[in-house]
Amino acid sequence: MINHISLAVNNPSHVAKVVAELWQGQAAPFPNHPGYYITFAMDSFGSLIEFLPKKTVLQPNPVGKGVQFFDLSSEVPVHTATHANLMVPLSEAQIYAIAEREGWRAVRCKRSDDFELIEFWLENEVLLELLPPTMSEQYLTATRPENLQAILTAK
């Protein structure tokens, strides 16, 4: 199980609030890191997403201590391969309404013959794959261990 993930965005405060709305959770500043924000799903798993300024990278601390936060001064790419798949309690219509309000791309996509999801592009740059209740069961069925094993052994 993934408990949390960090995503680099242009406006961490705003993105954290929008994702809190999608999750029906809460957003808050990240302690001890001004300009960083966290969205809590407020579920029994402690699920959360950290939103860091886009120019931030994490790197190992050379003296053996914890991670260092490093501010890039060079140009950073617009898009990234990093993304997350989230189950959300909202309907498709609610998701599209939020995307339209924000001016962000949201589109229903078929990932395989087994499930669909909604691509929700934070700031039109960072991908969240959203699974509203009408799509969640398809995804859970497709990703059951026995179904994944059949896919892996078929290739």
Q: What confidence tier does 93 reach under pLDDT thresholds 50, 70, 90? A: very high
Encoded tokens for 123: 């700031």
Encoded tokens for 58: 């994490």
- Taking only the tens place, the pLDDT of each residue in 6-19 is 999 999 999 999 99
pLDDT recorded at residue 143: 86
Q: What is the pTM of this model?
A: 0.82
Percent of the chain at pLDDT > 90 equals 61
- Taking only the tens place, the pLDDT of each residue in 72-86 is 666 666 777 788 999
CA separation, residue 82 to residues 9, 24, 27, 55, 93 (Å):
11, 23, 21, 15, 26
pLDDT recorded at residue 80: 74
